[in-house]
Amino acid sequence: MIRFLHFLCLYLTIQLEVTSATFFKPFNVTYDHRALIIDGNRRMLISAGIHYPRATPEMWPDLIAKSKEGGADVIQTYVFWNGHEPVRGQYNFEGRYDLVKFVKLVGSSGLYLHLRIGPYVCAEWNFGGFPVWLRDIPDIVFRTNNAPFKEEMKRFVTKVVNLMREEKLFSWQGGPIIMLQIENEYGNIESTFGKGGKEYVKWAARMALSLGAGVPWVMCRQTDAPDNIINSCNAYYCDGFKPNSQKKPILWTENWDGWYTEWGGRLPHRPVQDLAFAVARFYQRGGSFQNYYMYFGGTNFGRTSGGPFYITSYDYDAPLDEYGLLSEPKWGHLKDLHAAIKMCEPALVAADSPTYIKLGPKQEAHVYHTDLHPKGLNLSLSEFHGICSTFLANIDERKAATVTFRDKKYILPPWSVSILPDCRNTVFNTAKVGAQTSVKLVEFDLPLVSNFFPALQMMGHNGIAHISKSWMTIEEPISVWSKNNFTVQGILEHLNVTKDQSDYLWYATRIYVSEGDVLFWEENHVRPKLIIDSVRDILRIFINGQIIGNATGRWVKVAQTAQFLPGYNDLLLLTQTVGLQNYGAFLEKDGAGIRGKIKLTGFKSGDIDLSKSLWTYQICHLDVITFSTLGIVGLQGEFLKFYIEENDKAGWTELTHDVIQSPFAWYKTYFDAPGGTDPVALDLASMGKGQAWVNGHHIGRYWTLVSPKDGCEECDYRGTYDSDKCLTNCGKPTQTWYHVPRSWLQASNNLLVIFEEIGGNPFEISVKLRSARIICAQLSESHYPPLSKLVDSGFNGQELPINNMKPEMHLYCQDGNVISSITFASYGTPQGSCQSFGRGSCHAPTSLSMVSKACQGKRSCSIEISNTFFGGDPCHGVVKTLAVEAKCTSPPKSDGSFQL
C-alpha cells in the first residue's frame, strides 16, 4: 500500500506539472557548423528514441525518467499520421496517441524533445505511418511532386505544428521542442521519382519553414537538403558523416542499437561494446547530436506492426526493453559513456574542430583544446587555464595496442575508444564494461480463483500452472458470412475492399465439375490445379468448407492441387495481411491479396480463367468525403466484437479437451491480475497464429513460427556490426510472450479473448511476470573509478583527481526490489560468467561475507575493488577481480522474510 501511495503521489505530481504552461524559461535554438545552440550555448546532446504509441500513457513517465537517469538530454519521437487521423478530417489525440501529453511529460522532466513529423515515418509501422485512406484520393502519388499528396501532407503537418504552438510547446514559448523533422530517409528513394523527387524535396523544405515553428528542421538521409534544412545521418556508424554544408552541425538522428524482427526470424543483438564504440567515435570526430533508435522500442499493439511479417514485439535490443525494464549491461554502460562525454562537453563546444594525431597504423587521437574562455562555462578568468579533452581510438578489430600520448602510455583494447576529459586520465573505455548484467526472467504467477469460473487454476503435466481450465469457444464461419454482400466479375484488390479495417478478406465463387471432368482425371491420372499469379501476405484455400492449401510470402506464385466433387463446388479464398508495407517508393500501389490471373488447370475442356468469374465479397462502401469504410469486412467475430465483455450476440459454448475445432475458432476465459508491480506477459507458445485481446484491448498478432536452427554463432563485439551479426534464439519460436500493460488490467476477472487461425491449445496459455531477478557483475582492480564520483568531484576541465580513487562495483535491483541474497562472490581470480561463476586459484575468504554485509537487504550497494576492503591481498602480484551474483526480490514482509 505504501508503494502504491508513493506511486500515486508521484503520478499526481507529474500530472500537475504537465498542466503547467511553461517548462523552461523561453529560449531560442539555432545552430552553427559545430552544434545546436541552445539559449546561446553550443551543446553536445544525447537523445533517446521513444515512440509514444508503443507504450501506454501510464508507462510514459517511467520511460522518460529512466532515459534521463541514463544520461539523455532529449527524447525523440515520430508522429504517427495513421494513428492521429484514422479517418480523413477526424483526429485522434487521445490515449496512446495523446501527443500533447507526451510532449508535456518530456518537458516536465526537464528534457528537450525532437519531433519527427515526417509525416512518412517508416518505423516498421503499418503502411509507414500513412493512413490507408490516403491511397484512395484520386490521382495521388506518395512522396513526390504530386499536388493531391502535397495538399494532404501540408494539411497534416500544419495541424501538428499548430497544435504544438497552441499548447506552447516550442522552445521559444518555454516548451521542450528544440527541433523538427520533415520527410524521412527520402534520399533512399528520391532517384525513383526523377525530377519530381528533387522538386518535392525543395517544396517540403519551403512548406515546413513557412509554418513558423521557430526551431530548426532536419531531413535525415537527404544529401540534397536545402541550405536552411539540416541533413543528418541514420546508420550503425556515423563518425564519418559530413553534412552537405559547412554551416550545418553533424547530427545522427538514428543510431541503430538493435534491429527489428520478422516472424520466423532470429533475434538480433548489438553488443554494447560496439554500440559505445560507435557513439564515442561520433563525438570524437566532430559529432554533436546522437539519438538511439531505439532507446525504448516497446510493442506494436493491435495491428500497428508494419512489414509485412514484422513481429508484435518492437524490443529492438534497446537499453529499455519492451516492458520498460533496464536492459543491462547496455543501459548502465551507455550511462557511463554519456557521463564521460558530458565531462568533455566544455572542450567539445569550445573548440571548432579537433586536432588529429596519428598514434599508430590503426590508432589515433582527436584532441579538443582551447586556451580561450568558452562562452557559457561557469569559470572565472582567474580559474581558467585552458580546457583539453581527448579521445584515443584503436580501430584494429583484433589486437590491443599500447600508444603514447603526451609522454604517457595507454593500453587500448581492440575496437575501442578511451575518453580522457582532462587529456591525461582515462575515465571510460568503450570495450571495458563495468555495469552489472541483469538476467531477465519470465516467471509464472498463479492468478487468484475467478468468480466466473469455479476452477480457474490448473497444473499441467510439466508442473506449470496455466491461466485457466475453463474456456469458452465459438467457431468463425468459413464463408462470406454476411447477408450484406455483393458479387462482381473478377478479383478485387484486397485493400480496395478492406481499407485495412481487418487483416482478412473472403473471396467466394462456385465451380461446376462434370462427370466427364472426373472421368478425364481418372483416365489420365491427373488432378486439377489452382494457379494464382501472385499472392501476398497469406492465402488460405478452401473447397467445400475444407482447407486444402496455404501460401505465405511477398507476391509469391501459387500452384495448389485441388480435389473437386461432381456438381457444384464452393471455392473460398481467404487472403490475409500481416502488416502493410512500410518502406519503399510507390506505397500507394503496393496493395495486398491477389494479383494477376487465377485459373484452374486440368479440366477436360481446358483451363478455366477464374479471373473472369463472378466472385462474392462482403459489402464495403467508401465515403468519398472522409474516405472512411462503411459496411462489413473481415471476420464475423471482429464485426460482432467478440472481444468485449458487453457482447451478447455470440453463442459461446464450453470448450472441452476432446473437441476438435475448425481451423478458425474464438476462445475466451477470465483471469485475475498477478500481484505486485512486475510487467505482465501472456505466454502463447501453445497457440498457432492469430490475435489476442485483454479487456477489449488488442494485444497484437501472435504467430508461433520457429527460427532457423543455424546462424547463432558466438558473438564477438569487435568489428563492423550489421543486422546478421550476433543473432540469438536459433531454433526457437520468434515470439511467445506478449506484453499486457498493467493499466489494461483490473484486479480480477480480466477477459482474455483469442482468435486462432491454424490450431492451438488454449488450455496451455499462462500469465507470466517479467523481471530482472538475477544480477551479476565482474570488475577488476584495473578498472576506472566510478564516473559518478568523478562528476561529483567538481571537475571543471582541469586535471582529474583520479590517483587516490579506487574502482567500485555498483549493484542494484530494479523497480523497488531489494538484494535478498548473494549467491556467489569471489575476490581474486574468479572464472566463468554470469550464472556460471566459479572460484579460481586465488580467492579472498571474506568475499561472500563482505559483499553480503554491504549489499544484502538493500536496493543498491557499492563495493570497493581493493585489498583493503577484503582484508588483505589474497595473491600478490596478480590483478584481482571481483565477481558477484545476487538475487533480487520484493522488499521484506513485516516479519522480515522475503517474498520469493
Residue type, 867: N
Q: What angle do CA 163, 167, 169 make, to 5 degrees?
A: 95
C-alpha cell at 459: 497444473
Q: Percent of the chain at pLDDT above 90?
A: 84
Q: Is the pLDDT of residue 446 over 60?
A: no
CB 536 within 8 A of CB 592: yes
Q: Is the pLDDT of residue 244 over 90?
A: yes
Q: Is the pLDDT of residue 697 over 90?
A: yes
φ/ψ of residue 445, rounded to 5:
-125, 115
φ/ψ of residue 264, rounded to 5:
80, 5
pLDDT at 5: 43
Distance between CA 25 and CA 646 in Å, rounded? 49
Residues 757-774 have a mean pLDDT of 93
Max distance between CA atoms of the chain, in angstroms, equals 106
Distance between CA 218 and CA 227 in Å, rounded? 11
Distance between CA 467 and CA 633 in Å, rounded? 32
Q: Is the pLDDT of residue 716 over 50?
A: yes
CB 316 within 8 A of CB 257: yes
Lowest mean pLDDT among 16-20, 604-608, 644-648, 767-771: 16-20
Helices and strands: H and E segment counts in the chain:
13, 44
Beta strands in 483-590 (DSSP E): 485-489, 504-513, 529-543, 546-561, 567-576
Residue predicted with more confidence, 585 or 803: 585
Hunting for cell 497464429 — which residue is that? 689
CB 257 within 8 A of CB 292: yes
Q: By three-state DSSP, how is residue 81 classified? A: helix
Edge-to-edge, what's the strand order for the sheet holding 697-703? 653-654, 472-475, 665-671, 750-756, 689-694, 697-703
**pLDDT tens-digit readout, 544-555:** 999 999 999 999
Catalytic residues: 185, 254
User: Which residues, listed in sequence order, are joined to residue 821 by a DSSP beta bridge?
Assistant: 887
pLDDT at 337: 98
Distance between CA 410 and CA 357 in Å, rounded? 14
Q: How far is CA 43 from CA 84, 221, 291, 374, 392, in A?
A: 33, 22, 14, 12, 22
Hunting for cell 562528476 — which residue is that? 791
φ/ψ of residue 299, rounded to 5:
-135, 140
User: What is the β-pairing status of strands 45-50 and 41-43?
Assistant: unpaired
**pLDDT tens-digit readout, 110-135:** 999 999 999 999 999 999 999 999 99
Distance between CA 803 and CA 812 in Å, rounded? 26
**pLDDT tens-digit readout, 44-57:** 999 999 999 999 99
pLDDT at 265: 98
What's the pLDDT band for 893 if we cut at 50, 70, 90?
Answer: low
User: Which residues, listed in sequence order, are joined to residue 862 by a DSSP beta bridge?
Assistant: 810
Dihedral Cα 155, 159, 160, 163, nearest 10 deg: 170
**pLDDT tens-digit readout, 551-576:** 999 999 999 999 999 999 999 999 99
Residues 514-519 have a mean pLDDT of 95
Beta strands in 382-471 (DSSP E): 387-394, 401-405, 408-412, 416-420, 428-429, 437-444, 458-459, 465-466
CB 505 within 8 A of CB 540: no
In order, the DSSP letters of 796-845 are -SS----TTPPPEEEEE-STT-EEEEEEEEEEES-BS-TTS-B--S-B-T
Q: Cα 656 vs. chain centroid, distance in angstroms?
A: 38
pLDDT at 18: 54
pTM above 0.75, yes or no: yes
Distance between CA 503 and CA 578 in Å, rounded? 7
pLDDT at 466: 67
Kind and range of the H or E run holding 851: helix 847-855
In order, the DSSP letters of 598-635 are EEEE--TT--EEGGGSEEEEE-EEE-TTT--EEE--S-
Cβ neighbour number for residue 728 with a 10 Å cutoff: 14
C-alpha cell at 163: 497544435
Q: Is the pLDDT of residue 384 over 80?
A: no
Kind and range of the H or E run holding 29: strand 29-31
Q: How far is CA 125 from CA 47, 84, 208, 311, 741, in A?
A: 21, 14, 23, 11, 20
Hunting for cell 500513457 — which residue is that? 57
Q: Is the pLDDT of residue 524 over 50?
A: yes
CB 81 within 8 A of CB 131: yes
The answer for residues whose C-beta is within 8 angstroms of residue 276's C-beta and 6 or more apart is 333, 334, 337, 417, 430, 431
Q: Is the pLDDT of residue 453 over 60?
A: no
In order, the DSSP letters of 718-739 are SS---TTSS-B-TTSBS--EEE
| Burial degree of 175 (CB within 10 A; 0-12, 13-18, 19+) | buried
Q: By three-state DSSP, how is residue 887 classified? A: strand
Residues 417-440 have a mean pLDDT of 96
pLDDT at 240: 96
Q: Is the pLDDT of residue 582 over 90?
A: yes
Q: Is the bond preceding 294 in cis, omega lying within 30 degrees of 0?
A: yes
pLDDT at 801: 79
* Domains of the chain: residue spans and CATH: 36-327 (3.20.20.80), 478-633 (2.60.120.260), 637-770 (2.60.120), 806-892 (2.60.120.740)
